[in-house]
Protein backbone atom coordinates (compact mmCIF):
# COMPACT_ATOMS: atom_id res chain seq x y z
CA UNK A 1 0.00 0.00 0.00
CA UNK A 2 1.43 3.42 -0.88
CA UNK A 3 1.29 6.35 1.56
CA UNK A 4 -1.51 7.90 -0.51
CA UNK A 5 -3.64 4.75 -0.18
CA UNK A 6 -3.26 4.44 3.59
CA UNK A 7 -6.38 5.38 5.48
CA UNK A 8 -5.81 8.55 7.51
CA UNK A 9 -6.72 6.60 10.62
CA UNK A 10 -3.94 4.00 10.07
CA UNK A 11 -1.13 4.37 12.61
CA UNK A 12 2.01 5.45 10.76
CA UNK A 13 4.35 2.85 12.20
CA UNK A 14 1.80 0.08 12.69
CA UNK A 15 3.44 -3.33 13.09
CA UNK A 16 6.60 -2.69 11.08
CA UNK A 17 8.44 -6.00 11.36
CA UNK A 18 11.97 -4.66 11.87
CA UNK A 19 13.34 -6.76 9.00
CA UNK A 20 16.00 -4.15 8.38
CA UNK A 21 19.72 -3.84 8.67
CA UNK A 22 21.26 -0.69 10.11
CA UNK A 23 24.69 0.92 10.35
CA UNK A 24 25.77 3.90 12.43
CA UNK A 25 28.27 6.67 11.75
CA UNK A 26 30.24 8.39 14.50
CA UNK A 27 32.93 11.04 14.58
CA UNK A 28 36.17 10.78 16.58
CA UNK A 29 35.94 12.66 19.89
CA UNK A 30 38.15 15.66 20.70
CA UNK A 31 37.89 15.69 24.48
CA UNK A 32 37.43 13.20 27.29
CA UNK A 33 33.85 14.34 27.77
CA UNK A 34 33.10 13.79 24.08
CA UNK A 35 34.77 10.41 24.30
CA UNK A 36 32.40 9.45 27.12
CA UNK A 37 29.44 10.62 25.06
CA UNK A 38 30.62 8.61 22.04
CA UNK A 39 31.07 5.41 24.05
CA UNK A 40 27.73 5.88 25.73
CA UNK A 41 26.15 6.13 22.25
CA UNK A 42 28.03 3.06 21.00
CA UNK A 43 26.99 1.06 24.08
CA UNK A 44 23.34 2.02 23.63
CA UNK A 45 23.25 1.29 19.89
CA UNK A 46 25.32 -1.93 19.91
CA UNK A 47 22.39 -4.20 20.93
CA UNK A 48 20.66 -3.25 17.65
CA UNK A 49 23.38 -5.38 16.01
CA UNK A 50 24.45 -2.90 13.30
CA UNK A 51 26.05 -4.44 10.22
CA UNK A 52 28.93 -1.99 10.72
CA UNK A 53 29.76 1.22 12.57
CA UNK A 54 31.86 3.83 10.84
CA UNK A 55 34.15 6.55 12.16
CA UNK A 56 34.72 9.70 10.11
CA UNK A 57 38.02 11.31 9.16
CA UNK A 58 38.31 15.06 9.81
CA UNK A 59 38.67 17.52 6.95
CA UNK A 60 42.21 17.40 5.57
CA UNK A 61 43.05 14.29 7.59
CA UNK A 62 42.95 16.36 10.77
CA UNK A 63 41.67 13.44 12.88
CA UNK A 64 44.04 10.77 11.59
CA UNK A 65 45.18 9.67 15.07
CA UNK A 66 41.76 10.05 16.70
CA UNK A 67 39.97 8.11 13.97
CA UNK A 68 42.57 5.36 14.27
CA UNK A 69 42.36 5.14 18.05
CA UNK A 70 38.53 5.11 18.02
CA UNK A 71 38.43 2.37 15.39
CA UNK A 72 41.13 0.36 17.20
CA UNK A 73 39.19 0.60 20.46
CA UNK A 74 36.08 -0.67 18.66
CA UNK A 75 38.10 -3.69 17.50
CA UNK A 76 39.56 -4.33 20.96
CA UNK A 77 36.51 -3.76 23.12
CA UNK A 78 33.42 -4.64 21.08
CA UNK A 79 32.05 -7.27 18.71
CA UNK A 80 31.02 -4.54 16.27
CA UNK A 81 32.41 -4.36 12.73
CA UNK A 82 34.19 -1.01 12.50
CA UNK A 83 34.67 0.91 9.26
CA UNK A 84 37.34 3.60 9.12
CA UNK A 85 36.76 6.61 6.87
CA UNK A 86 39.86 7.59 4.91
CA UNK A 87 40.37 10.53 2.54
CA UNK A 88 42.92 11.51 -0.11
CA UNK A 89 43.43 15.06 1.18
CA UNK A 90 46.96 16.16 2.04
CA UNK A 91 48.51 12.69 1.92
CA UNK A 92 50.82 10.88 -0.49
CA UNK A 93 50.04 7.37 -1.69
CA UNK A 94 52.81 6.07 0.59
CA UNK A 95 51.28 7.77 3.64
CA UNK A 96 47.88 6.32 2.80
CA UNK A 97 49.46 2.88 2.33
CA UNK A 98 50.93 3.19 5.82
CA UNK A 99 47.54 4.08 7.32
CA UNK A 100 45.88 1.24 5.40
CA UNK A 101 48.53 -1.21 6.66
CA UNK A 102 47.99 -0.04 10.25
CA UNK A 103 44.25 -0.63 9.92
CA UNK A 104 44.75 -4.05 8.38
CA UNK A 105 47.17 -5.05 11.15
CA UNK A 106 44.71 -3.79 13.78
CA UNK A 107 42.06 -6.12 12.32
CA UNK A 108 40.04 -3.45 10.51
CA UNK A 109 38.64 -4.81 7.25
CA UNK A 110 36.16 -2.12 6.18
CA UNK A 111 37.20 1.30 4.83
CA UNK A 112 34.91 4.15 3.74
CA UNK A 113 37.04 5.58 0.92
CA UNK A 114 36.51 9.25 0.14
CA UNK A 115 38.19 12.04 -1.71
CA UNK A 116 37.55 14.42 1.18
CA UNK A 117 37.30 18.17 1.32
CA UNK A 118 40.28 20.33 2.17
CA UNK A 119 39.97 22.49 5.31
CA UNK A 120 38.27 25.85 4.54
CA UNK A 121 41.61 27.59 5.25
CA UNK A 122 42.88 26.02 2.01
CA UNK A 123 40.18 27.67 -0.08
CA UNK A 124 37.88 24.68 -0.03
CA UNK A 125 39.12 23.48 -3.42
CA UNK A 126 40.50 19.97 -3.68
CA UNK A 127 43.98 19.78 -5.16
CA UNK A 128 45.54 16.32 -5.15
CA UNK A 129 48.76 15.89 -3.19
CA UNK A 130 51.61 15.77 -5.79
CA UNK A 131 52.20 12.12 -4.91
CA UNK A 132 48.66 11.38 -3.85
CA UNK A 133 45.39 10.02 -5.15
CA UNK A 134 43.33 12.12 -7.55
CA UNK A 135 39.97 11.13 -6.10
CA UNK A 136 37.96 8.39 -4.42
CA UNK A 137 37.97 6.00 -7.42
CA UNK A 138 41.77 6.18 -7.52
CA UNK A 139 41.90 5.65 -3.73
CA UNK A 140 39.68 2.56 -3.96
CA UNK A 141 42.06 1.04 -6.56
CA UNK A 142 45.07 1.79 -4.34
CA UNK A 143 43.46 0.31 -1.22
CA UNK A 144 42.25 -2.80 -3.06
CA UNK A 145 45.73 -3.39 -4.50
CA UNK A 146 47.18 -3.28 -0.99
CA UNK A 147 44.64 -5.36 0.98
CA UNK A 148 41.33 -7.04 0.28
CA UNK A 149 39.29 -4.46 2.20
CA UNK A 150 35.50 -4.28 2.20
CA UNK A 151 35.04 -0.75 0.81
CA UNK A 152 32.17 1.73 0.97
CA UNK A 153 32.09 4.94 -1.06
CA UNK A 154 29.98 8.10 -1.12
CA UNK A 155 27.01 8.71 -3.44
CA UNK A 156 24.95 11.83 -4.03
CA UNK A 157 21.24 11.45 -4.94
CA UNK A 158 21.10 15.22 -5.54
CA UNK A 159 24.52 15.35 -7.27
CA UNK A 160 27.88 16.28 -5.76
CA UNK A 161 28.29 20.09 -5.90
CA UNK A 162 31.47 19.86 -8.02
CA UNK A 163 30.13 17.34 -10.51
CA UNK A 164 29.96 18.47 -14.14
CA UNK A 165 26.55 16.83 -14.53
CA UNK A 166 24.31 14.18 -12.98
CA UNK A 167 25.59 11.65 -15.51
CA UNK A 168 29.23 12.51 -14.85
CA UNK A 169 28.62 12.03 -11.12
CA UNK A 170 26.97 8.67 -11.76
CA UNK A 171 29.89 7.63 -14.01
CA UNK A 172 32.19 8.51 -11.14
CA UNK A 173 30.17 6.37 -8.73
CA UNK A 174 30.36 3.50 -11.22
CA UNK A 175 34.14 3.94 -11.48
CA UNK A 176 34.43 3.68 -7.67
CA UNK A 177 32.39 0.47 -7.63
CA UNK A 178 34.21 -0.96 -10.67
CA UNK A 179 37.49 -0.23 -8.87
CA UNK A 180 36.39 -2.62 -6.13
CA UNK A 181 34.05 -0.80 -3.76
CA UNK A 182 31.27 -3.00 -2.39
CA UNK A 183 28.56 -0.47 -1.62
CA UNK A 184 27.75 3.23 -1.57
CA UNK A 185 26.37 5.33 1.25
CA UNK A 186 24.46 8.46 0.27
CA UNK A 187 24.77 12.02 1.37
CA UNK A 188 21.75 12.82 3.56
CA UNK A 189 18.55 13.79 1.77
CA UNK A 190 14.95 14.62 2.67
CA UNK A 191 13.19 13.68 -0.57
CA UNK A 192 12.38 10.01 -1.09
CA UNK A 193 11.71 10.86 -4.75
CA UNK A 194 15.30 12.10 -5.16
CA UNK A 195 16.64 8.87 -3.65
CA UNK A 196 14.42 6.51 -5.65
CA UNK A 197 15.07 8.41 -8.92
CA UNK A 198 18.80 8.09 -8.19
CA UNK A 199 18.47 4.32 -7.60
CA UNK A 200 16.64 3.97 -10.93
CA UNK A 201 19.34 5.93 -12.77
CA UNK A 202 22.09 3.96 -11.07
CA UNK A 203 20.48 0.68 -12.07
CA UNK A 204 20.09 1.93 -15.64
CA UNK A 205 23.82 2.77 -15.59
CA UNK A 206 24.58 -0.83 -14.61
CA UNK A 207 25.16 -0.21 -10.90
CA UNK A 208 23.90 -3.17 -8.89
CA UNK A 209 25.82 -2.67 -5.63
CA UNK A 210 23.75 -1.61 -2.60
CA UNK A 211 23.26 2.15 -2.20
CA UNK A 212 22.47 2.74 1.47
CA UNK A 213 20.44 5.85 2.29
CA UNK A 214 22.30 8.13 4.72
CA UNK A 215 19.75 9.30 7.30
CA UNK A 216 20.46 12.53 9.16
CA UNK A 217 18.08 13.47 11.97
CA UNK A 218 18.08 17.28 12.07
CA UNK A 219 19.79 18.30 15.29
CA UNK A 220 20.48 21.86 14.21
CA UNK A 221 18.78 23.43 11.24
CA UNK A 222 21.62 25.91 10.75
CA UNK A 223 24.13 23.03 10.55
CA UNK A 224 21.94 21.12 8.10
CA UNK A 225 21.77 24.19 5.86
CA UNK A 226 25.57 24.62 6.07
CA UNK A 227 26.25 20.98 5.19
CA UNK A 228 23.49 20.49 2.65
CA UNK A 229 25.43 21.19 -0.59
CA UNK A 230 22.91 20.35 -3.31
CA UNK A 231 20.50 18.63 -0.93
CA UNK A 232 17.11 20.26 -1.17
CA UNK A 233 15.59 21.23 2.18
CA UNK A 234 11.81 21.14 1.65
CA UNK A 235 9.78 24.10 2.90
CA UNK A 236 7.52 21.82 4.96
CA UNK A 237 10.56 20.48 6.82
CA UNK A 238 11.83 23.96 7.54
CA UNK A 239 8.38 24.98 8.82
CA UNK A 240 8.32 21.89 11.05
CA UNK A 241 11.35 23.31 12.90
CA UNK A 242 10.06 26.89 13.12
CA UNK A 243 10.71 28.42 16.54
CA UNK A 244 12.74 25.44 17.81
CA UNK A 245 16.22 26.97 17.52
CA UNK A 246 16.44 27.51 21.27
CA UNK A 247 14.44 24.44 22.26
CA UNK A 248 16.81 21.47 21.90
CA UNK A 249 14.48 18.97 23.57
CA UNK A 250 11.42 19.46 21.32
CA UNK A 251 13.73 19.92 18.31
CA UNK A 252 15.31 16.50 18.87
CA UNK A 253 11.88 14.87 19.20
CA UNK A 254 10.57 16.54 16.03
CA UNK A 255 13.77 15.55 14.21
CA UNK A 256 13.42 11.91 15.25
CA UNK A 257 9.80 11.78 14.07
CA UNK A 258 10.67 13.46 10.73
CA UNK A 259 13.60 11.08 10.12
CA UNK A 260 11.56 8.04 11.19
CA UNK A 261 8.84 9.05 8.73
CA UNK A 262 11.45 9.40 5.96
CA UNK A 263 12.68 5.88 6.81
CA UNK A 264 9.12 4.54 6.87
CA UNK A 265 8.53 5.87 3.36
CA UNK A 266 11.85 4.41 2.19
CA UNK A 267 10.85 1.11 3.79
CA UNK A 268 7.55 1.20 1.89
CA UNK A 269 9.59 1.68 -1.29
CA UNK A 270 11.55 -1.51 -0.54
CA UNK A 271 14.60 -0.16 1.34
CA UNK A 272 15.88 -2.52 4.05
CA UNK A 273 19.36 -1.08 4.77
CA UNK A 274 19.70 2.23 6.58
CA UNK A 275 22.82 4.18 7.51
CA UNK A 276 22.41 6.70 10.34
CA UNK A 277 24.53 9.80 10.86
CA UNK A 278 24.36 9.73 14.67
CA UNK A 279 26.53 12.75 15.54
CA UNK A 280 27.59 10.55 18.48
CA UNK A 281 24.12 10.49 20.05
CA UNK A 282 22.11 7.33 20.43
CA UNK A 283 18.61 8.53 21.31
CA UNK A 284 17.32 9.58 17.90
CA UNK A 285 18.83 6.69 15.93
CA UNK A 286 17.60 4.22 18.56
CA UNK A 287 14.09 5.71 18.56
CA UNK A 288 13.90 5.59 14.75
CA UNK A 289 15.02 1.95 14.70
CA UNK A 290 12.44 1.18 17.39
CA UNK A 291 9.66 2.77 15.29
CA UNK A 292 10.80 0.72 12.30
CA UNK A 293 10.26 -2.38 14.42
CA UNK A 294 13.90 -3.21 15.11
CA UNK A 295 14.53 -4.66 18.57
CA UNK A 296 17.77 -5.35 20.45
CA UNK A 297 19.29 -8.71 19.75
CA UNK A 298 19.95 -10.95 22.75
CA UNK A 299 23.28 -9.95 24.29
CA UNK A 300 26.06 -12.20 23.06
C1 LIG B 1 28.73 8.76 3.43
C2 LIG B 1 29.72 9.91 3.39
C3 LIG B 1 30.77 9.93 4.32
C4 LIG B 1 31.71 10.98 4.30
N5 LIG B 1 32.71 10.98 5.23
C6 LIG B 1 33.67 11.93 5.18
C7 LIG B 1 34.78 11.93 6.09
O8 LIG B 1 34.88 11.07 6.98
N9 LIG B 1 35.71 12.91 5.98
C10 LIG B 1 35.64 13.88 5.02
O11 LIG B 1 36.54 14.75 4.97
N12 LIG B 1 34.59 13.93 4.15
C13 LIG B 1 33.61 12.98 4.21
N14 LIG B 1 32.56 13.01 3.31
C15 LIG B 1 32.47 14.14 2.36
C16 LIG B 1 33.27 13.89 1.06
O17 LIG B 1 34.63 13.79 1.34
C18 LIG B 1 32.99 15.08 0.14
O19 LIG B 1 31.65 15.07 -0.27
C20 LIG B 1 33.95 15.24 -1.05
O21 LIG B 1 33.72 16.54 -1.62
C22 LIG B 1 33.77 14.23 -2.17
O23 LIG B 1 34.20 13.00 -1.78
P24 LIG B 1 33.92 11.72 -2.73
O25 LIG B 1 34.56 10.57 -2.08
O26 LIG B 1 32.49 11.63 -3.06
O27 LIG B 1 34.76 12.19 -4.02
P28 LIG B 1 34.89 11.64 -5.53
O29 LIG B 1 34.06 10.41 -5.70
O30 LIG B 1 36.32 11.56 -5.82
O31 LIG B 1 34.18 12.79 -6.35
C32 LIG B 1 34.47 14.16 -6.13
C33 LIG B 1 33.93 15.01 -7.27
O34 LIG B 1 34.74 14.87 -8.40
C35 LIG B 1 33.96 14.47 -9.52
N36 LIG B 1 34.80 13.56 -10.31
C37 LIG B 1 35.52 12.52 -9.85
N38 LIG B 1 36.22 11.94 -10.87
C39 LIG B 1 35.94 12.66 -11.96
C40 LIG B 1 36.35 12.59 -13.32
N41 LIG B 1 37.21 11.68 -13.75
N42 LIG B 1 35.85 13.50 -14.20
C43 LIG B 1 34.98 14.45 -13.79
N44 LIG B 1 34.56 14.57 -12.51
C45 LIG B 1 35.03 13.69 -11.62
C46 LIG B 1 32.74 13.78 -8.93
O47 LIG B 1 31.63 13.77 -9.81
C48 LIG B 1 32.51 14.66 -7.73
O49 LIG B 1 31.87 15.84 -8.10
C50 LIG B 1 31.60 12.01 3.33
C51 LIG B 1 30.53 11.99 2.40
C52 LIG B 1 29.60 10.96 2.43
C53 LIG B 1 28.44 10.96 1.46
Kind and range of the H or E run holding 185: strand 183-186
Domain edges within the chain: 13-291
Please give the Cα distance from 72 to 51 (Å, whole number).
17
Cβ distance 291 to 44 under 8 Å? no
CA of 117 to the centre of ligand 1 (A): 8
Q: For the chain, 300 residues long, give each residue's pLDDT as a single digit of tens.
A: 555 566 777 888 988 999 999 999 999 999 999 999 999 999 999 999 999 999 999 877 778 889 999 999 999 999 999 999 999 999 999 999 999 999 999 999 999 999 998 777 777 788 899 999 999 999 999 999 999 999 999 999 999 999 999 999 999 999 999 999 999 999 999 999 999 999 999 999 999 999 999 999 987 878 888 888 889 999 999 999 999 999 999 999 999 999 999 999 999 999 999 999 999 999 999 999 999 999 999 754
pTM here? 0.96
- The residues annotated with a catalytic role in the active site are 25
Nearest CA owner, ligand 1 atom 28: 136
Measured from CB, residues less than 6 Å from any atom of ligand 1 are 56-57, 59, 85, 87, 112, 114-117, 135-136, 154, 160, 162-164, 168-169, 172, 176, 185, 187, 214
Closest atom of ligand 1 to CA, residue 163:
49
CA of 243 to the centre of ligand 1 (A): 34
Q: What pLDDT does 118 receive? A: 78
Kind and range of the H or E run holding 26: strand 21-26
Burial class (CB in 10 A: 0-12, 13-18, 19+), 183: buried
Fold exhibited by the domain 13-291: TIM Barrel (3.20.20)
Q: What pLDDT does 300 receive? A: 42
Please give the Cα distance from 25 to 215 (Å, whole number).
10
Cβ distance 83 to 112 under 8 Å? yes
CA of 173 to the centre of ligand 1 (A): 9
Q: In what order do the strands lie in the sheet with 52-55?
A: 211-212, 183-186, 150-155, 110-114, 82-87, 52-55, 21-26, 273-277, 214-215
Burial class (CB in 10 A: 0-12, 13-18, 19+), 24: buried
Q: What pLDDT does 4 receive? A: 57
Mutate which of 114, 228, 274 for ligand 1 pocket (most atoms within 8 A of beta carbon): 114
C-alpha pair distances (Å), 101 with each of 21, 111, 234: 29, 12, 43
Nearest CA owner, ligand 1 atom 49: 163
Closest atom of ligand 1 to CA, residue 168:
47
Q: What pLDDT does 6 receive? A: 66
Nearest CA owner, ligand 1 atom 52: 154
CA of 19 to the centre of ligand 1 (A): 31
C-alpha pair distances (Å), 202 with each of 56, 60, 77: 25, 29, 38
Amino acid sequence: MTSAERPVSAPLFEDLPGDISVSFEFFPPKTEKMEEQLWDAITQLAPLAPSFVSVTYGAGGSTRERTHSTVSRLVRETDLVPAAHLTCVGASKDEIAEIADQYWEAGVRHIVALRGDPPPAHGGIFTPHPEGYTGAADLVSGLKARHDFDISVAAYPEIHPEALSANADLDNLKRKLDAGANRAITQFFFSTDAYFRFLDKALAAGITAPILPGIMPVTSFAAIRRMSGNTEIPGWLERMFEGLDDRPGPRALVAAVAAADLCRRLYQGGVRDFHFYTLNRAEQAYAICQLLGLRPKAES
